[in-house]
Amino acid sequence: MSPANNCCVKRYFLSNKDIKELSNAVGELGPIFRSAKKVEVYELNETTTVYLIDDKPLVAKLMVKIDSSQREYVVPLLTYFYLNPPYMPNYPSVTVDDGAVPHIVNGADVMRPGIKDISGNFGVGDVLLIKDLKGRYIAIGASLMAADEMRSASKGKVIKVIHHLGDKLWNLAQELLKSK
């Protein structure tokens, strides 16, 4: 069943006032919304909302359980990075080795031994972009430790993956792009 025919999904457009409020609330992603002609909200369920900006699925709001608490994240969808965006969000990132890639794109969290490079400063719970050795974005995650702690760690789980190539959000975004 295509997402357009899903009876339980709520779809609606934001007013210009709502777009402005949202652009101010999403920090790093604000410029994406500020330059939009139209923003459609695609509420999949209580934990996942996709924003279609000028008919492109570019941003998601996700409720993610980290440790014992739920946190809300507003993150670019990975499709965003493959659509030649006019604006590139400035998130910290990690580069993982080729051995880690298949595990991550199958939904595994990032383990410290698989990380080859850590760029930027971040705290616990901050959004990180996860790239392969060729610089391609393969996942988005939430840091489980601060940057300095991660740099000095040698083992253990260090990033909770919240979106990766081939996951439900990626597939939905591909379907929405095809339907436009």
Residue pLDDT, tens place only, 52-85? 999 999 999 999 988 788 999 999 999 999 987 8
Domains observed in the chain: 3-179 (3.10.400.20)
pLDDT at residue 58, rounded to an integer: 94
Provide the CB-side half-sphere exposure for 40 (13 A, CA): 14
**One-letter identity of residue 120:** G
- As to burial, measured by CB atoms within 10 angstroms (0-12 exposed, 13-18 middle, 19+ buried), residue 39 is buried
Q: Flag residues of the chain having pLDDT under 50.
A: 1-6
Residue 58 contacts residue 95 (beta carbons within 8 Å): no
Tokens found for residue 48? 């996942």
Element (H, E) at 66: strand 56-66
Does pTM surpass 0.85? yes
Distance between alpha carbon 170 and the CA centroid of its chain, in Å? 10
pLDDT at residue 1, rounded to an integer: 41
pLDDT at residue 135, rounded to an integer: 95
